[in-house]
Amino acid sequence: MAEGSLYFERAPDRDTGLPFLYTAPVALMVAGGLILRAGGVGALTTPWNATVLSLTHVVTLGFLTMTAVGLFLPLVAVGGNVSIPRPMTVHGVYYALTAGAAALVWGTARSEVTPVFVAIGALTVMGLLFLTHAIRGLRQVSFKTPTIQGLSVALWSFFLTVSLGIWLAHGHGGMLFPGPRALWLGVHVGVALGGWLGGMIAAASFEAVAGLLKVERMEEKSVRWILRCLVFSVSFPALGLLAQYFHLIPLDFEGMGIGLVLFGLPGALSIWMLWPFLILRWARRARAGALRDGLLLSAISGLLLWPLLGWAWATESTRWVMALGWMAVMGWAVSALLVLLVWLLPLVLSPAPDNARALGEQPLARGLVVLQGVVAWGGAFWIGVSPGQGLAIGFALVAEGACCLGLLILQRRRGPAGAV
């Protein structure tokens, strides 16, 4: 059946998405365990801390990328009205991503070189498999809907993210690194969060999430501005780094840093200001429930990044910089991808549970949103203000992952025998 311009009869077989569906919540539990092992979020004091590096990759690869990759091809199918060629190829993507994430987390947590190089190999395989498969799927689409346009931007950003990430991993493994690590890390994080994950969140919001909320689709003008700003802000910083590396521009690192900030600003404004305001406008007309509250949590977290950025800049405090990073990843990104994982991904896999929407609004789902709010905002407060170690955030993150996994298993068990 079609909902708006989405064609759910084209949804790929549910087995192609189950590994991603069930692994992502486990990553949240592992992240909570790492925080508890470190003694709480109070230990997250510097971006170069081994705990911070390992925790970051558990969340970004194990949860965020796992969810985004698992959702990408089903969205291509239902958004572009096409059948995905060789859908079981995604299992190769899944195993390579899982192996690469595990090896990178192990290597960064223990400061060991060998696992990092294992991760480089596995994530390279994952990137090539996913890019090839995704491009084949997108090439079949004859009409570029807003969803497909957003997915195309996300895929370009994914390519840049993986390329920059592998180069950064080489530097972590002791190989020659091209230029100041802070510049490359900043561009990698910006492209990953704003372009790859932001592109996925935006693409899913244009039509699919609007359908779930029972509100009108996002306006064409807003879609155009979001996508243009994202393409500009992920492409030019990456090109600037390459130009500097090949000595096509002067090696002025201070000027380069200012230029990267200016290039990244349009994308940041589009995904952390325009998108949240559009969600807030939707929320006024959407039905009350956990789905709406989860989106509101993500939107408000995105808007909170701006005053946090100003405060971190004014105080020159590393702790508030870490709080800013926590809010960007755990507040904005995890909240949005959690919504897509629990409410959208089961619906774009076939067969989908008849009562998936109802299950997504039961007390367990509402509890999931509350736990996510505690983790996101409580963690940022604890890191910035530092009232103590913050073990409660680790326990809340473990509980959130378990709650999410339980909800997804419940959806699976109550699913029908055939397609919706």
Q: For 98-120, what is the mean pLDDT?
A: 89
Kindly tell me if the per-residue pLDDT of 123 is higher than 90. yes
- Tokens representing residue 351 in the block: 């067969």
Task: Give the Cα separation of 378 and 363 in Å (integer).
Answer: 21
Mind giving me the DSSP string for 262-291? HHHHHHHHIIIIIHHHHHHHHHHHSPPSHH
Instruction: Please give the residue that has the higher pLDDT: either 16 or 313.
Output: 313
- For the chain, the maximum distance between any two Cα atoms, rounded to a whole number of angstroms, is 63
Classify residue 344 by burial, with Cβ atoms within 10 Å: 0-12, 13-18, 19+.
buried
Helical segments of 47-145, H only: 50-57, 66-80, 90-110, 113-139
Domain boundaries in the chain? 2-413
Q: For 339-367, what is the mean pLDDT?
A: 78
Q: For 187-212, what is the mean pLDDT?
A: 93
Q: What angle do CA 325, 300, 277 make, to 5 degrees?
A: 120
Q: Are strands 6-7 and 2-3 parallel, antiparallel or unpaired?
A: antiparallel
Q: Tell me, what's the pLDDT at 286?
A: 87
Task: Give the Cα separation of 340 and 75 in Å (integer).
Answer: 11
Distance separating the N- and C-terminal Cα atoms of the chain: 8
Q: Decide which of 3.20.20.70, 3.30.1360.120, 1.20.210.10, 3.30.470.20 is the CATH code for 2-413.
A: 1.20.210.10
Q: Are 237 and 191 in contact (CB under 8 A)?
A: yes
Range with lowest mean pLDDT among 38-47, 123-132, 245-254, 381-390: 245-254
Q: In which band, very low, low, confident or very high, does the pLDDT at 175 lie, cut at 50, 70 and 90?
A: low
Q: Tell me, what's the pLDDT at 419?
A: 33
Which of 84-119 are b and which e, b meaning 16 or more Cβ less than 10 Å from the residue's Cβ? beebebbeebbebbbbbbbbbbbbbbeeeeebbbbb
Q: Tell me, what's the pLDDT at 388?
A: 76
Residue pLDDT, tens place only, 247-288: 777 767 777 888 888 999 999 999 999 999 999 999 988 888
Kindly tell me if the per-residue pLDDT of 354 is higher than 80. no
